[in-house]
Structure 1
Amino acid sequence: MANTLKLDIKEPAEDLKTRFKKETNAQKKERLHALYLLKSGKVSTLESLSRLLSRDTSTLYRWFQKYKNEGLDGLLKVYKPAGRPITIPAEALEKLKLRIQSDEGFKSYGEIQSWLKEACGVDVDYHVVYRAVRYKFKGKFKSTRRSRPRRNPPLSTLQLSSFK
C-alpha cells in the first residue's frame, strides 16, 4: 500500500496497552492509543487513524515525528505553559513572607495590598495579592466562627466544655 504509515515502534503492543490503561492524563492517553493502534495493526494508514481518533493528520504526523526524534518519553511530554509571571518583585515578596510569618500578620488581603504600597512601593491589584498569598505562600486567613450564644445550653454540652 502506498498510504501505509511506516513507523518503527520499539515498544511491544501489550506494554503500550497496559500503559494506556494506567494513564490518567487525557493527552498522553490519546497519544499512547495512537501508538497502540499502529503497533497492533488495527490501523495502517494515517488517514484511517485520523478518522478513528478524530484528529487532523498533521497533528498525528507531528506526534509521530516527535516519537521518531525523542522516543516515547518525548512523545508523552506535554507542554504546560508557565503562566503569567507575578508582578510583585522578589524582594517585596520576601518582605511579605517575613511579615506574614511574624506575630503581627494581616487581617485581610486589602491590608496586605496597602502595606505593599506603603512599605515596598508596589502598587498591585487585589487579585494579584490574593494569588500571591494563597497560591505562592499557601496561606489562608483563618477567622473564628461567630455563633449565636445559647440561652439554655444542654447539660451534656456544658459538662463536656467545662472539663476541657
Structure 2
Amino acid sequence: MTRPFKVEISESQQELEKALKHATTASTKERLQMLYLLKSGQVTSRRSLAELIGRDQATITRWVRKYKDGGRDRLLEVKHAPGKLSIVSEEALKRLKQRLQEPQGFHSYGQIQQWLVAEFQLDIAYKTVYELVRYRIGAKLKVPRPQSTKQHPKSLSHFKKNFL
C-alpha cells in the first residue's frame, strides 16, 4: 500500500502560471510545472505527474520534500560548487593593483612574476600571472613607444597642432 499523495501548495494558480512564464532555466520550469499541475488538479498521483513531466517518481518525491521543507524558494534554489580557492591573497591582489597604477608599473609579465616571488613568495606560472592581470584585474601593461633623442620638442608640438 502506498502513501497518499497530498501536497499543500501555498501559491495561487495565477502566481504559479506567471512564474512559469518568466522562468529562465529548464530545471526551474520543470519544478514550477509540477507545482502548477498539482495546484490546478490536473494530476492526482505521483506516477501520473512523473509521466507528464518526464521524470522519475523518486525525483518527484525529492522535489515535493524540498517544497514541504522550505517552500518555493527551497525548491528552486540551485547549488553551485564553491570552486578552487585562489593562490593569490586579497592583500597581494590589492598591492598588485596599486603597483600597476603607478607610472613606472611593470614592463613585462615576467617582471610581475618576479615581484610576486620577492614580495609574497608566490611562485606562479606566467600564464596564470597574465590571466590574473589581464582578466581578473582588467589591466594592460602599457609601455610608451620609444622616441628619438634627436627629436625637437617644438617641431613635435607644431606637427600635432597642424596635422589635422
TM-score by length of 2: 0.72
- 1:1-164 aligned at under 5 Å gives the runs 5-107=5-107, 109-137=109-137, 139-141=138-140, 162-163=163-164
Distance in 1 separating the partners of 2:110 and 2:46: 56
User: 1:78, CA displacement in angstroms?
Assistant: 1.4
Cα-to-partner distance string for 1:56-91 (whole Å, 9 max, x where unaligned):
222222221111111112212211222111111232
Distance in 2 separating the partners of 1:134 and 1:57: 48
Distance in 1 separating the partners of 2:54 and 2:108: 49
User: 1:135, CA displacement in angstroms?
Assistant: 4.9
Give SS of 1:17's match: helix
TM-score by length of 1: 0.72
> Could you say if the C-alpha distance between residues 134 and 63 of structure 1 is closer, same or farther in structure 2, counting changes exceeding 3 Å?
farther
What stretches of structure 1 of length at least 5 have no aligned partner?
Answer: 145-160
Q: Give 1:52's aligned amino acid.
A: L
Cα-to-partner distance string for 1:20-42 (whole Å, 9 max, x where unaligned):
11121332222111111211122
User: 1:11, CA displacement in angstroms?
Assistant: 0.9
Query: Any conservation in 2 of the 1:5–1:46 contact (CA below 8 Å)?
Result: yes
Which structure has the larger Rg?
Answer: 2
Q: Percent identity?
A: 41
Distance in 1 separating the partners of 2:108 and 2:54: 49
Distance in 1 separating the partners of 2:127 and 2:32: 39
Distance in 2 separating the partners of 1:108 and 1:87: 21
Q: Count matched residues.
A: 146
Give SS of 1:91's match: helix
User: 1:127, CA displacement in angstroms?
Assistant: 4.6
User: 1:143, CA displacement in angstroms?
Assistant: 7.2
Moved more, 2-11 or 12-21: 2-11
Cα-to-partner distance string for 1:124-164 (whole Å, 9 max, x where unaligned):
23454345335543x043779xxxxxxxxxxxxxxxx933x
* RMSD value, Cα: 2.9
What stretches of structure 2 of length at least 5 have no aligned partner?
Answer: 144-161
